[in-house]
Chain A
Amino acid sequence: MKSSYDVVVVGGGPAGSMAAWEAAKGGASVCMLEKDRDIGYPVRCGEAASDLGLRQFVEPKDSWIAKKISGAVIVSPNESKVHVKFANETGYILNRRIFDYDLSRYAANAGAEVYTKAYVKELLKSEETVTGVVVDHLGEEKKISAKIIIGADGLTSRIGRWAGIKTQIRMKDMESCVQYSVSNIDVDPDNMIMYVGENFAPGGYLWVFPKGDKFANIGIGISGKHSKYKSAKAYLDEFMAREFPNAAILTTMCGGVPCAKPIKHPIKNGIMLVGDAAHQVNPMTGGGIVSGMKGGWLAGQVAADAIAKGDYSEKTLIAYPEKLRKDFGKNHERFYKIKEATAALTMDELNSIAENVLKIPFEKRTLASVFKAAVFKKPSLIIDVLKVLSGV
């Protein structure tokens, strides 16, 4: 580990690896620091991602894919099942342990140095500019100076806070999650299943994502607005006892998903935030793999350009949020509005939406038709639905 780099990336998730990869490809000297022992582990994720999403950056490898998915089943509070086939899309349930690892290897092969067991505990600043980090690497404290820091430190992002970027998430926008990797269960191998409604998961949903033969990720996210009354784990355990009493739970993990609008200005002089750290998660679905990769990808490119130009101030880095807004940023704001509207639906309303959508013949049923039915109380949102789902 050297004492100075052009770019230091904090965090080795998908967003961090993409940033490190792009910055290194663009000619910058790059170092990526990950606090844990392994890249890609522990997996705190349902691991669902779309083929088209991943293909924006990489050719998906067979070893990343645990299961191909052809559609979704949305289960209403009274357990009506609405089956929707994906139109032009293939979905995957990934093996993030392998996927994340490979992304970091791509970054390393492009010239980025990668260090694990490297916890960043402080930012170095000079006046209004971030100039480096203090890292605990294998028990030893080191100072590293950098022209640009990329905070890819996940939802906790203290890096952002230390730089003076407001990253705190409001309780109602924070999803409190638990997930089990479960074996010995009978599960539909081709569809992802999502249970909605207060009885299953208030302010969120409960998911069953098949990963293989008799094997699935089963998890839940509930809004922080509700988690003080009953924990995410309590909801999930009730579901498991009811639906899968004989399940073998091979992994237990918990986590959180920031279902807020993306941070508008995730930069300061010498620093950019990417991925969960910048709330780059689809607030409707909680999916953050692909959008986090996009954030990292764009930030890495902007970082390489800034290094080449020799200007690391906000004035140059602003190109990053500008590109982001044109890409998925605007859509995520629309999804946020749709989420707010659907979060207000009662169980009866959700049941009657399911009833109405089930009247549409299966071949004609699309995700757009489900969303359109879901925003019936706010017809003005239909335009937003059509914009975000055009093509799906």
Chain B
Amino acid sequence: MIKIIDNKCDFCGTCVTVCPVDCIEVREASISIDHPICIDCDLCVEICPILVLETVDEV
């Protein structure tokens, strides 16, 4: 599962461009991931310039 580290995101939307299933929403000052749609491909984790996203085990 993709975890968003609190208070780190700059809301630039770069992760949105590479997501194959369009499950990331970035607004002026918020980011959310639609987990049921996410396919855990990790591309968003790899592209984020400031390491906001992490892969964690499903809880």
A residues in contact (CB < 8 Å) with B: 35-37, 44, 117, 119, 154-158, 161, 167-171, 174, 176-178, 224, 227-228, 231-233, 252-256, 258
Contact = CB atoms under 8 A, between A and B. Distances in A.
B19 to A, nearest CB: 7
A205 to B, nearest CB: 15
Interface of B: 10, 12-14, 16-20, 22, 25-28, 43, 45-51
A296 B13 CA distance: 21
Given A224-B46, A253-B12, A256-B13, A168 B51 contact: no
B18 A154 contact: no
Contacts of B49: 176-178, 227, 231-233, 254-256
A155 B14 contact: yes
A253 B10 contact: yes
A35 B28 contact: yes
B53 to A, nearest CB: 11
The 9 nearest A-B residue pairs measured at CB: A256-B14, A156-B13, A228-B46, A232-B49, A254-B49, A156-B16, A255-B12, A176-B49, A178-B49
Given A176-B48, A254-B12, A37 B17 contact: no
A295 B19 CA distance: 25
A157 B17 CA distance: 7
Contacts of B43: 171, 224
A124 B13 CA distance: 23
Contacts of B18: 168-171, 174, 224
Nearest to B42: A228
A227 B13 contact: no
6 contacts: A35-B27, A35-B28, A117-B28, A158-B16, A176-B48, A252-B10
Q: Which of A156, A168, A228, A255 has the most CB of B within 10 A?
A: A156
B9 to A, nearest CB: 9
A175 to B, nearest CB: 9
Contacts of A253: 10, 12
Nearest to B21: A168
Given A227-B49, A254-B14, 6 more contacts: A35-B28, A117-B28, A168-B17, A168-B18, A227-B47, A255-B12
